Amino acid sequence: MADITMPQLGETVVEGTIIRWFKKVGDPVARDEALFEVSTDKVDSEVPSVAEGFVAEILVDEGQTVDVGTRLAVVTEAQPAAGSSPTPAPGTGTAEPTAADNGDKSARATSTRPTAAEPAEAVLVESVPAESVPAESVPFEDEADVAQSQGGDGDGAGAGAFNGGRPAAPAAGRQGGAALLSPVVRRLIAEHDLDAADIPGTGQGGRVTRADVLSFIDQGAAAAKQRPKPAESAPVPRRPAGATAARRAPLRPGDDDVVVPFSNIRRRTAEHMVRSQATSAHVLTVTEVDFAAVDRVRLAVRENFKAKEGFSLTYLPFVSRAVVDAIAEFPDVNASVGNDTLIVHQRVHLGFAVDLAHEGLIVPVVRDAHGKRLSAIARDLAALAARARSHDLTADDISGGTFTITNPGPFGTFLTAPVINQPQVAILSTDGVRKRPVAIELPDGSDAVAIHPVGNLALSFDHRAFDGAYASAFLGRCRQILETRDWSQEL
């Protein structure tokens, strides 16, 4: 007999949500055959069986979220008798705590987690090392989200009101499981001063999902625009807690419209970006870079480099190397905002956005980029991008970033204003490089016009962390490195 437990799918991952079981009780399963699919706050993964035999018990329903190490199923050598241990019906909450779990965690696993209709909330990128950010440093996150993102159990300041650093289970409400709200749903309801009982639930058993709350908020906002404003002299009454938002009929598509449901990655990206805009004081500063010095070397070694390394040498590794060196002089750019503090990271873990065939973005991380030269950075960028597009990244590959670069330049963009990847304080966009006429100074001091490759670097930064002068000086240093360094020494 072998116990199947929730695996550790990354050093900062502390729990996972069972998306689906590939086997049912009584089915045979081979060792290393996919047994179930699990979703964490990093990635979704198929998990193979660690033993060969027959599935004798399934202890955790699809849609339940449990801690790493929780007993999920039992595999035996002998086929179980028919009907001896049926698979639990959805919502029965049969997850069993491990020996290390306490009663609070068991109650949390069975009463406050998402169902299959509401996947566990996750962000695309864990942007800072888990050990470096206090619980207060992730804005708009409740203690459950902070504990998930940092890989801890949330114990610490203020933990007395929570079970293991996560909110206690909500009070019982209407039937059908609607009172079992995920952390993100509870947060949205609290932020908008709503009552869960007023929101129609479309999830399993009438459960209120995140989409239900957002739809309810949108309906109320639209109705509010139609209501007449109160007179200037009249006091504006504050909406009492629990008051319901006005509702309107949902938008119905036309006969020739195509309805495309949002994918999980689209929903996660949307919430992460909206939260970032609401968290940081976004400011954009841009500089123009002459890439002539880069191109002299890049084009000269292009064929040999590709033959040796197996991939093309693009502008991105040069920009990444310049950014890493500039951060050494402007360390506040490589930081996160804490509780009325700026947490400056001593190591540069460089994230870069990878497009997944226009279905979404993911941000793998080049670890310790500050200790790598151009060729090493180029290899890491190429390898991680290839693994991202083949869906072969692990949770650790996309966690811990401290500064992010997004690279729409290959599409020929002129200027991009990226959204900061929370809880980082800055993100750099590398836009398209085109040949343009530029004024240059000749050795004799006279001026001339030449055709050089030119492109923009755009930095979105959090004005809470530093001011425009600091951001501009950092960008200026990046430009100076790109334009004046002898890049042949790097290769």
Active site residues: 463, 467
State the Cα–Cα distance between residues 49 and 31, nearest whole angstrom. 5
Residue 342 — φ and ψ, nearest 5°? -115, 120
Nearby residues of 228 by Cβ (< 8 Å), 6 or more positions away: none
Do residues 209 and 189 make contact, with C-beta atoms less than 8 angstroms apart? no
Which one, of 267, 109, 111, lies nearest residue 178 by Cα? Answer: 111
Cβ–Cβ < 8 Å for 471, 426? yes
Chain Cα centroid distance, residue 311: 27
Q: β-strands 403-406, 350-352: how paired?
A: parallel
User: Beta-carbon neighbour count of residue 360 at 10 Å?
Assistant: 16
Burial 194-215 (b: 16+ CB within 10 A, else e): bebeebebebbeebbbbbbbbb
CA gap 395, 8 in Å, rounded: 10
Beta strand residue intervals within 194-291, DSSP E:
282-290
Dump the DSSP string for 206-238: GPPPHHHHHHHHHHHHHHHHHSPPPPTTS--PP
Give the Cα separation of 68 and 5 in Å (integer): 8
Contact 71, 96 (CB under 8 A): yes
Place of tokens 């993911």: 362
**Which of 300, 297, 315 is CA-nearest to residue 434?**
315
CB atoms within 10 A of CB 297: 20
Q: CB–CB of 26/54 below 8 Å?
A: yes
Closest alpha carbon to 106 in 44, 168, 155, 152: 168
Distance CA 123, CA 275 (A): 10
Number of helical (H) and strand (E) elements in the chain, helices listed first? 9, 19
